[in-house]
Amino acid sequence: MPLIAEIAISVLLVVAGLFGLVGSYGLLRLPDAMTRLHAPTKATTVGVGGVLLASMLYFAVNGSVSWHELLIALFLFLTAPITANLVAKAHMHREMSQGELPDSDTGRVWATFERPGAPIAPVLTSAAPVESAKS
Amino acid sequence: MIALALNFAFCCFGLALLFNLYRVIRAPVLTDRVLALDTMVINMIALLVLFGIKLGSGMNFEAALLFAMTGFVSTVAYCKFMLRGDIIE
């Protein structure tokens, strides 16, 4: 294996390990739940991403290129924001009240606090009032 | 040099898993436990891929991919349960 590839793989592994550690340490140390949500996202992106990149490089240099890592990385990068969004919504629903949150900018309350069984209406997010089709 | 970096990364992710375990056991709010479980899955994927590099085999990637999928689905199920009291309505 050429020296430059060895150095690149080692650096990627060390950086990935440090970021994974920092991400999980942040989960322990940050002060409140919404900020704690922030730390493990870095562990996903740089930590696992670095490990997968190192693995790809290692197997490419050894003669057998594998695309599995790319698949895993793609899947993780797609699902990490969805997970974070759902955890944040669950936290809003369980721990926060109407007064603690900023205005939703839609003229309605946040969906979490809406009365169960309320009629579902389309939410217009634009600031300007939209002309209705009848007039 | 790669072996040394590999061992360092193993130690880092192992320690990260221990941190997450502590957060699962002792957490101020319930969502932290779910988040810690999700992070545990992610650290496990990293460990599996590192193990694949150590053994030099491509066998571990299927396991890592399955871990990623089941981890995502379980986190979504937990969050859906906390939000709605039900998973599939």
Give the integer Cα–Cα distance in Å for B69 and A41: 17
Q: Which of residues 26-55 of B touch A (CB under 8 A)?
A: 28-32, 34-36, 38-39, 42-43, 45-46, 49-50, 52-53
Between A95 and B33, the more confident residue is: B33
DSSP state, residue A111: G
Q: What is the pLDDT of residue B35?
A: 92
Q: What would the mean pLDDT of B41-58 be, rounded to a whole number?
A: 90
Show residues of chain B in contact with A66, CB under 8 Å.
Answer: 58, 61
Indicate the average pLDDT of chain B. 90
* Token representation of residue B50: 């590192």
**Spatial contact of A99 and A113, defined as CB atoms under 8 Å apart:** no
CB neighbourhood size of A133 (10 A): 5
Show residues of chain B in contact with A59, CB under 8 Å.
Answer: 58
Q: Give me the domain span that covers residue B58.
A: 2-84
Q: How confident is the model at residue A12 (pLDDT cuts 50, 70, 90)?
A: very high
Task: Please write the tens of the pLDDT for every residue from A91-103.
Answer: 888 888 777 777 7
Q: Chain B: nearest CA to A25, how far in angstroms?
A: 7
pTM: 0.84
- Domain regions of chain A by residue span: 3-95
Q: What ipTM is given for this predicted complex?
A: 0.87
CB neighbourhood size of A96 (10 A): 15
Amino acid at A3: L
Q: What would the mean pLDDT of A25-29 be, rounded to a whole number?
A: 90
pLDDT beyond 70 at A83: yes
Q: What is the pLDDT of residue B27?
A: 86
Number of domains into which chain B is organized: 1
DSSP state, residue A44: I
Considering only the beta carbons, identify the residue of B15, B32, B42 that sits closest to A44: B42
Q: What is the pLDDT of residue A17?
A: 93
Show residues of chain A in contact with B17, CB under 8 Å.
Answer: 24
pLDDT beyond 90 at B21: yes
Q: What would the mean pLDDT of B22-40 be, rounded to a whole number?
A: 91
Task: Please write the tens of the pLDDT for every residue from A34-71.
Answer: 888 888 887 788 899 999 999 999 988 888 888 888 88
Indicate the average pLDDT of chain A. 83
Give the integer Cα–Cα distance in Å for A130 and A128: 6
The dihedral of CA A31, A32, A34, A39: what is its sign?
positive
pLDDT beyond 80 at B49: yes
Q: Which of residues 115-134 of A touch B (CB under 8 A)?
A: none
CB neighbourhood size of A81 (10 A): 11
Domain with B70 in it: what CATH number? 1.10.287
DSSP state, residue B37: H
Task: Please write the tens of the pLDDT for every residue from B52-81.
Answer: 989 888 788 889 999 999 999 999 999 999
> Does A89 sit within 8 Å of B32, measured CB to CB?
no
Amino acid at B17: L
Q: Is residue B89 part of a domain?
A: no
Q: What is the pLDDT of residue B12?
A: 92
DSSP state, residue B8: H
How far lies A77's CA from each of A8, B3, B15, B53, in Å?
A: 23, 28, 23, 21
DSSP state, residue A63: T
pLDDT beyond 70 at A129: no
Q: What is the pLDDT of residue B16?
A: 93
* Token representation of residue A25: 């340490």
pLDDT beyond 60 at A134: no
